[in-house]
């Protein structure tokens, strides 16, 4: 065995030890999450498959490196080592930044810590970016091209699936979708092309603004709520309100919406009654502290004619509520008309009872919407 081959095996061994260390750190963090946060692992099979996949990658890398015995030398290796050093720095950074919330497995827990500063201000998953880079750089260093091609491709497949699962879990228990709606996942640079081949995304944004309650009510594209109040326990009447200003961000892949986030300004909610609006905006919704209301899809929406029921997450103030929403899709020349209805309680949203002495407001509201999603 040549000195160069011994050196190459030493580097691979270093990364194997580093991976084992990560597993130990993860296990310690997992114990803490289960004890302190009652965390529950999501999709146990996925975590097991990831371990097997990384093990096979190391085996393939070792075998091809030793069989070929053609280690890359020269000045170009300096560049590769520099990139690997940057990757290692980013990995240590993410472990330190997330602290006990950094794990190899995916866990579901109540109100998880969502980090949005540092690298996470620009990229959702810096640790996964490192993994993608290492799957390219290490085989490139040892001219293990077969390992590079096969496992880099498979790695993108695994990570694209894992990222969607991880983000879905976070969206169900936090305001993750709101905080990261304008932040790229883990491939803002050279790896974007490879990821898009596997998971092509057509990101779009729709903005709506109606000057008055009547304009919003007449529009074919709207977001509204309906409720009931009973006066003196005898007479029941209905009331409604419209969002005069709202924004929709969605990712469209062929005839499927992979993600969708709706944002509304509390000041632009209008019931067509001045006194009711003031109470709703200032007292019940506390506009000064919570200027926005949001909702997000937690499942993929298939854009095929007909009805389907999917889960959506609603955020009002600091309260997050997941509810089933009945959605109807109709195809037209411009794209798809998507309408739906959800029923949600004021108490579920942590909102105070708006009833007054002579009128009792029913706790349940009907949320309705209709929007045109363009192709």
224-279 pLDDT, tens per residue? 999 999 988 889 999 999 999 999 988 887 788 888 889 999 999 999 999 889 99
Beta pairing partners, 321: 314
Strand 256-265, strand 292-297: pairing: antiparallel
Burial of 258-270, coded b for 16+ CB within 10 Å and e otherwise, reads bbbbbbbbbebbb
- State how far the Cα of 274 lies from the Cα of 163, in Å rounded to an integer: 45
pLDDT the model gives residue 188: 47
> Quick one: CATH architecture of 202-374?
Beta Barrel (2.40)
* pLDDT band of 149, cuts 50, 70, 90: very high
Q: Where in the chain is CATH 1.20.120.1630?
A: 3-198
Is the CB of residue 178 less than 8 Å from the CB of residue 117?
no
Higher per-residue pLDDT: 234 or 338: 338
HEC string of 214-281?
HHHHHCCCEEEEEEEEEECCCEEEEEEEEECEEEEEEEEECCEEEEEEEEEEHHHEECCCHHHHHHHH
Question: 207 burial class (0-12, 13-18, 19+ CB within 10 angstroms)?
Answer: exposed
The CATH code that applies to domain 3-198 is 1.20.120.1630
Whether the predicted pLDDT of 94 surpasses 60 = yes
Question: 169-214: per-residue pLDDT in tens?
Answer: 887 777 777 777 777 665 544 444 444 444 454 668 889 999 999 9
CB count in 10 Å sphere of residue 219: 13
pLDDT at 360 over 80: yes
Nearest to residue 46, comparing CAs of 169, 204, 192, 226?
A: 169
User: For 31-44, b where at least 16 C-beta lie within 10 A, e where not — what string?
Assistant: eebeeebebeebbe
pLDDT band with cut points at 50, 70 and 90 for residue 161: confident
pLDDT tens per residue across span 314-329: 888 878 888 999 999 9
Please answer whether residues 245 and 268 qualify as being in contact, where contact means their C-beta atoms are separated by less than 8 angstroms. yes
Q: Which two tokens stand for residue 265?
A: 């300004």
What is the pTM (predicted TM-score) of this model? 0.62
Contacts 24+ apart (CB under 8 A), 270-277: 270/212, 270/213, 270/216, 270/241, 270/242, 270/244, 271/213, 271/239, 271/240, 271/241, 272/213, 272/214, 272/241, 273/239, 276/239
Q: Roughly how many angstroms between the first and final C-alpha of the chain, as a whole number?
A: 59
Predicted pLDDT of residue 197: 46
Alpha carbon distances (Å) from 144 to 51, 73, 198: 21, 14, 23
Pull the structure tokens for residue 92.
């240590």
Q: Which residues contact 375 (CB under 8 A, 6 or more apart)?
A: 252, 334, 335, 336
Q: Are strands 306-316 and 335-345 parallel, antiparallel or unpaired?
A: unpaired
């Amino acid at each position: 065995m040549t000195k160069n081959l011994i050196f190459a095996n030493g580097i691979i061994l270093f990364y194997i030890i580093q991976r084992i260390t990560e597993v130990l750190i993860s296990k310690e963090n997992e114990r803490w999450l289960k004890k302190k946060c009652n965390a529950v692992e999501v999709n146990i099979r996925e975590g097991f498959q990831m371990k097997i996949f990384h093990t096979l990658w190391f085996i393939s890398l070792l075998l091809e490196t030793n069989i070929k015995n053609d280690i890359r030398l020269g000045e170009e290796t300096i560049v590769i080592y520099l990139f690997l050093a940057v990757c290692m720095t980013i990995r240590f950074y993410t472990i330190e930044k997330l602290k006990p919330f950094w794990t190899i497995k995916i866990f579901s827990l109540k109100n998880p810590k969502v980090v949005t500063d540092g690298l996470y201000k620009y990229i959702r998953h810096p640790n996964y970016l490192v993994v993608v880079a290492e799957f390219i750089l290490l085989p490139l260093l040892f001219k293990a091209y077969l390992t590079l091609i096969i496992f880099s491709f498979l790695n993108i497949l695994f990570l694209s699936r894992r990222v969607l699962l991880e983000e879905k879990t976070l969206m169900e228990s936090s305001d993750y979708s709101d905080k990261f709606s304008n932040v790229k996942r883990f491939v803002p640079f050279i790896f974007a092309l490879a990821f898009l081949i596997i998971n092509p995304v057509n990101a779009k944004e729709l903005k709506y603004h109606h000057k008055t309650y009547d304009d919003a009510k007449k529009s074919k594209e709207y977001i509204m709520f309906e409720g009931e109040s009973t006066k003196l326990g005898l007479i029941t009447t209905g009331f409604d309100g419209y969002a005069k200003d709202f924004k929709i961000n969605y990712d469209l892949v062929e005839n499927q919406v992979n993600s969708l986030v709706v944002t509304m300004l509390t000041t632009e909610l209008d019931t067509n009654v001045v006194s009711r609006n003031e109470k709703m905006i200032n007292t019940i919704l506390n506009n000064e502290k919570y200027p926005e209301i949001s909702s997000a899809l937690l499942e993929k929406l298939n854009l095929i004619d007909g009805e389907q029921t999917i889960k959506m997450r609603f955020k009002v103030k600091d309260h997050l509520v997941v509810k089933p929403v009945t959605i109807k899709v109709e195809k037209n020349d411009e794209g798809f008309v998507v309408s739906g209805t959800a029923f949600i309680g004021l108490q579920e949203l942590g909102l105070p009872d708006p009833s007054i002495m002579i009128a009792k407001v029913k706790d349940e509201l009907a949320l309705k919407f209709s929007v045109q999603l363009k192709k």
